[in-house]
Structure formats: structure tokens, C-alpha cells
Chains A and B, each alone.
Chain A
Amino acid sequence: DQQVKQNSPSLSVQEGRISILNCDYTNSMFDYFLWYKKYPAEGPTFLISISSIKDKNEDGRFTVFLNKSAKHLSLHIVPSQPGDSAVYFCAASIAGGTSYGKLTFGQGTILTVHP
């Protein structure tokens, strides 16, 4: 049972345009969401996060939107740059001490930004 799903395995975007990566979740207990970026042969790197008490969080070119009623979040990258080409993972966590901060990841989306 995949509790966090990224239904688009890949996305191709032109440099300077917007990239939109999507993520859906099924577990209503999730209340903290994160996006990671991964280059080949490296570990994932943290990009941006959002708590369920918010519907938007922005950090430079990256904005994450959360729609709790739809159990959907998205990552917007504007403007997209060739260096953004990587695999992007969304992840979810349940707040509270007994969860120990465990993350549940989606399958990943390969973003390719063309010059």
C-alpha cells in the first residue's frame, strides 16, 4: 500500500519555465511534508517542507503548496534551470513523539530541464 504517490515518473521542462511536481497521499495522519532532490550517485538533499497548518511555503525559486482536503501537494520551481535536473522525492511524516520522525517517500519524479 503506497501511502505517498508521485504518479508522474518524469517531467521535461524548458529552461526559464515553471516546473510543477505533484504528490498525493492517502494517510490522513500525515501532517508534515518535505521535498528532496537527488542527483545520481549522491544522497538526497532536503529542499523545502510544509506543515499541515499552512497551505504554502516559499523559499527562493521553490514553493510548496498543500491541499489537505485533496491530500495533494505540489512543488513549483520558477524559473527552472538546467541544474535543477534531478530526481525529486516527496515525503510525509506524522508529528508526535511516537512516530520518531519517520518519513514515507513517494517513488520520485525525474525532472529534466532543457537549455
Chain B
Amino acid sequence: DAGITQSPRHKVTETGTPVTLRCHQTENHRYMYWYRQDPGHGLRLIHYSYGVKDTDKGEVSDGYSVSRSKTEDFLLTLESATSSQTSVYFCAIRLAATYEQYFGPGTRLTVT
């Protein structure tokens, strides 16, 4: 358990509304990541952060933005949700000096 929580755990929203998902960690890890999991695609990287205010795009970043104003929180925002963003979203941290990432419990997002 790497002390990662995600909120909300479940959310249903309508097309066109903004949505923010929160990832919170308690162990001061520098690196944080957001992935989405979809059938047939495994996990795909959306955005990642390598420090406070330091973020970059991943493989599937279109339609998503992130912010990291303090070490413990990494926020993922869908500016205007679309049905294609219905997915399960996972946050992860990476231990320093390793390549191992540890994941939060996930947020199931449904866009109707």
C-alpha cells in the first residue's frame, strides 16, 4: 500500500460537463501518473508529473488536463466530458530510483 487514494471512486456525468478526478498520496513521492483502462487496450498513460507544477503529456492526452500545485495531489480534469472518456482511471506513483509504479484503487467514470 503506497498510501494512494482516488476520489471520487465512481462518477456518472453528462456529456459536455467538466469533471475533475483527484489523486492523493501521503508519502511525498515525486513522480505521479494518470492512466485509463479500457477493454482491449490495457492501461494507457494520459499525463504524468515529475514534480510540483512539472507535468507532461502521455499517449492519450487529448481532452484532458492536469495540475499539481502540491506534492501530494495530482488532479485530472476533463474540460468537457465525452462518451469516449467513459473509462476506469488509475493514478500511480513511482518509487524513487526504481521503475515500479504503485496504483490507486481507481475511479470508474461514466459519461452519458
Interface residues of A (CB under 8 A from B): 4, 6, 32, 34, 36, 41-46, 49, 89, 91, 93, 95, 100-108
Contacts and interface: CB of A to CB of B under 8 A. Distances in A.
Given A102-B58, A107-B40, A42 B106 contact: yes
B105 A42 contact: yes
B22 interface: no
Contact of A102 (B41, B45, B106): B45
Band of interface residues on B:
20 to 34
Contact of A43 (B42, B94, B99, B104): B104
B31 A106 contact: no
B111 to A, nearest CB: 19
A103 B42 contact: no
- What 7 A-B pairs are tightest by C-beta distance, nearest first? A43-B103, A105-B42, A105-B43, A107-B42, A32-B99, A93-B99, A101-B94
Interface of B: 4, 31, 33, 35, 40-45, 48, 50, 56, 58-59, 90, 92, 94, 99-106
B33 A102 contact: yes
Contacts of B94: 101
Contacts of B103: 36, 43-45
B43 A44 contact: yes
Contacts of A101: 31, 94, 99, 101
